[in-house]
Structure 1
Amino acid sequence: MTTPARPAPGTGFRLRNLGLPAASLALLAAATAWVGVVDPRESGHYPPCPYLVVTGLACPGCGGLRCVHALTHLDLSAALGYNALAVALFPLIGLLWLRWAVRTARGEPRRGLADPRALWGLLAVVLLFWVVRDLPFGAPLAP
């Protein structure tokens, strides 16, 4: 009696491979739910931004918790006011997670997060946002 041939690694979709992507998604969902319930605008729940405390200037992440809170309450205009860059990056993060989950489920070998040129471009956008939101003409981007 012969045993059935096993598929080569990296072929086929296997749900059992989705443990880490599923766990990361569950953790993100729990953290998002927490921020949705516990309002960051009320003091005492979250630590202040150390960069803001030291310099008095907003970092690229400032307003991020308030942005997530607004999005959990489906208030897109408030979310954009708190941190427009975060709102723009959330779909990209979702697509990167989906790509990782599909590749993991297929058993494909790990690769880099993205093309290095794309990562350098993203870094440039974040740095530009960081500088512009603290300048007088960038006030609409400030949290």
Structure 2
Amino acid sequence: MPATTDPLPGYRRHPVGLALLGLAAAAGAVVLWHVDPRQAGSPLPPCPSEWLTGLFCPGCGTTRALHALLHLDIAGALAMNPLLVLSLPLVALLLANQLFALPAGGRSLARRIGDARPWAVVLISYAVLRNLPWEPFTWLAPG
């Protein structure tokens, strides 16, 4: 009989780590539910890239977008960081691939989505485009 390999090395063997990750995500969701990052005096920090350079990084607006999503404000989330909102289903597929045994088609798709090269192109392009000062690119800026 050929030896089978576990498609989830480490994940099934480390349920405590998985539980801690889930607990941290839940705690973050609770904080974002109760704390509005758009309010003056918010305890949540501003984007360090924007603070240092004045430019929007690909992640600018992520905290505000997640806050909006938790409150089911899809339009508000898209206004803050459209790339994040549009990529969440892909991230969910990648996470599901790591945590569960997906069918072969799902694993194949997750492997293609998980390739870092296209993501690097998308993130760099998004960072450049959201800092251009004319429409329609100004729509990519948070806010």
Higher relative contact order (CA 8 A, sep 6+): 1
Which of 5, 21, 36 is equivalent to 1:24? 21
Which segments of 5 or more consecutive residues in structure 1 lack a partner in the other structure? 1-7, 104-112
Which consecutive unaligned segments of at least 5 residues does structure 2 have? 102-109
Contact 2:94–2:114 (CA under 8 A) maintained in structure 1: no
Superposition TM-score, scaled by structure 1 size: 0.75
Q: 1:41 — aligned with what? A: 38
| 2:32 maps to amino acid | V
Find the aligned partners of 1:125 and 1:133 in 2 and give their Cα distance.
Answer: 12
Question: What percentage of aligned pairs have identical amino acids?
Answer: 35
CA distance in structure 1 between the aligned counterparts of 2:13 and 2:122, rounded to whole angstroms: 37
Aligned equivalents of 1:97, 1:19: Cα separation in 2 = 17
Q: Deviations over 1:14-60 (max 9, x none)?
A: 97754333331221122122112111012331122121112211111
Q: CA RMSD in A?
A: 2.8
Letter in 2 for 1:65: T
Per-residue deviation, 1:92: 1.7
Counterpart in the other structure of 1:140: 139
Change (3 A) 1:94 1:116: closer
Q: Which amino acid aligns with 1:126?
A: L
Q: How does 1:1-143 map to 2 (within 5 A)?
A: 10=6, 18-44=15-41, 45-103=43-101, 114=111, 118-135=115-132, 136-137=134-135, 138-143=137-142
Aligned residues: 126
CA distance in structure 2 between the partners assigned to 1:63 and 1:81 by the alignment: 9
**Secondary structure class of the residue paired with 1:43:** coil
Larger Rg: 1
Distance in 2 of aligned mates of 1:85 and 1:74: 17
Give the aligned partner of residue 104 of structure 2. none
Note closer, same or farther for the CA distance 1:116–1:76 as it changes in structure 2 (3 Å cut): closer
Closer/same/farther in 2, CA of residues 116 and 139 from structure 1, 3 Å limit: closer
